[in-house]
Structure 1
C-alpha cells in the first residue's frame, strides 16, 4: 500500500540487522520450508532453460540465484540489504560469471529500470513481496523489464491462511478408544491490509516487518499492470508416514506460488 512507503527504510534497516543471522541459518541448502514447499514448484513454474536471462528479486543470500545458474540461466539478482548482497557474493564465488548482484530497493523505479528494459525472459521472487512496503512500483517496472510474453513467478506466505494474529491449533480427541489428532488454524481477520512485526527464525536479533495483503490485491495489481495469471500452486508438506502429532502444514498450504505472463 502506498501509505506504507515510509516503512521501507525501517524494513531495510531491520533486514540488515538480521541478514547475517538468516544467512548462517539458511546456509547453502536453505531450510525445509524452502526445499520442499517453495523451490520445487517455483522451478516448475519458471521452466528454466539454458541461456535464459532471469531477474531474481529480493534474492537474499543468493541461494536460488545459484540454483538458477546451475540450471544454465544468466542471472541478475538484487536485494535492498547490503549485508545480504555481501553474503550472497561470498557464497557465489563459483558463479560470478553468470550471476550479477546489485543492492537495489524494489520500491525505486529508476533503479529497477536501469537493470535493462525488455532484457529478461523471466523474473522470480521467493518469499519476499510481503517484505516490500509498496509493490505497485515493482509491478509497473516488471512490465518494462520483461520481454514479450515474459513471466514473473513469486511465492508469498498464503495470505488466506497466514494472516496477522493467526493462531495454530493442535487438538487431540479420544474417538472410540483411538486418540485422533487434528490440526487447524484460527483466523480473525483477512481483508484488511496491515504491516506487522514477525519472527521468521527463532532467535533472530530483531523482528522484521511484513505487509499483509489479501490475495485479491496481489492478483489485481498484476492484472492492471498488463499481466495475466497463468499458473498457481498451493503446496504443502506431505506426511510420508510421519506422526501427525503436532501442527504442521499438511492439508493447509503455508504458501502460494503464482505465475503471471506479460501480455
Structure 2
C-alpha cells in the first residue's frame, strides 16, 4: 500500500473542492449520523475532563472541536483541507480561545510532531482515518504526541459492513401473516485493502477518496506503534418501534469506534 501515499495530494484537492458543500450540509450541529452514531460512543470512550489537552485529527468544519471546548478541553484541531479550516474558524468565533485550528497533513510525521511531543492527554478522529492514505505515520506520531497513558479514540466506516461494492437491501416480507421490513447488506469482498471513490453526501461536487482496510490492519498498526486496545463500540440506529420505508442501519453497525491507549 506504499503507492497509496501518492494519492494524498489528490485526496486533499478533492476535500478542498467539496469542503463548502460538506460544511453547509453539516451546519452547526452536524447530521443525524454524527449525532446518533458517532458522538455518543466517542464521548463515552474519550472521557474528556476539564483542562485536558485534546488533539482533533481531521476536524472538518470543527463541529466536534467545538463540542470538546464546551466540555472544558483545550483543543488543537487539524485538517489537511485549508478550506475546511477556514470554515471551521468562521464557525468558531465564540470559542477560539479554546481551539487552535491548523492546516496539517496527517501523513506528514514532522508536521504532526511540531504540534508538541507528549503534549496531549487525548486525541480523537471522527470518520477520518479511512480518508487518510497512510495511517502508519499517524500512529507512530501519536505515540510521541500523547502523554503517558494517553488515549486515542477514532471512528471509521465499519470495514466489515461497508467494504467496496456494498449493496444495501430493503425488503418487505411476510412473517407469520404480517408484512414487515427487513434491512440487509450484501458484500463480496473484505480482506483486501483498496482505495475507492465515495459519495458521502448525495450531491457533493466530486467523490472523495476512501481507503478500505480490514479491522486487523487498523489494530496491528496501532499495536506495532505501542498502543493497546482498551475500548470498542459498534453503534447502530434504533428502530424505536417504527418500520422504515427505506434501508437504514438497524442491527448492522455502519461504523466502529476504537479506543487505544499509549503504553
Could you say whether these structures have the same fold, taking a TM-score greater than 0.5 normalized by the shorter chain as the test? Answer: yes
| 1:107-139 alpha-carbon deviations (Å, 9 max, x no partner) | 001000000000000000000000000011000
The correspondence of residues 63-212 of structure 1 with structure 2, limited to 5 A, is 63-212=63-212
Q: Distance in 2 between matches of 1:181 and 1:71?
A: 40
- Shift of the alpha carbon at 1:244? 3.3
- Shift of the alpha carbon at 1:176? 4.2
**Residue in structure 2 matched with residue 238 of structure 1 by the alignment:** 238
**Residue in structure 2 matched with residue 254 of structure 1 by the alignment:** 254
Q: Distance in 1 between matches of 2:103 and 2:205?
A: 22
**Residue in structure 1 matched with residue 21 of structure 2 by the alignment:** 21
**Residue in structure 2 matched with residue 46 of structure 1 by the alignment:** 46
Asked if the contact 2:180–2:243 (Cα under 8 Å) also holds between the matched residues in 1, the reply is: no
- Shift of the alpha carbon at 1:238? 0.3
Size of the aligned set, in residue pairs, is: 263
- Shift of the alpha carbon at 1:183? 1.0
Q: Distance in 2 between matches of 1:182 and 1:22?
A: 30
- Shift of the alpha carbon at 1:3? 2.0
| 1:195-235 alpha-carbon deviations (Å, 9 max, x no partner) | 00011101100000000000000000000100000000000
- Shift of the alpha carbon at 1:246? 2.2
- Shift of the alpha carbon at 1:241? 2.4
Q: Distance in 1 between matches of 2:181 and 2:243?
A: 9
Q: Distance in 1 between matches of 2:75 and 2:174?
A: 54
Q: Distance in 2 between matches of 1:176 and 1:243?
A: 16
Q: Which runs of 4+ in 1 moved over 4 A?
A: none
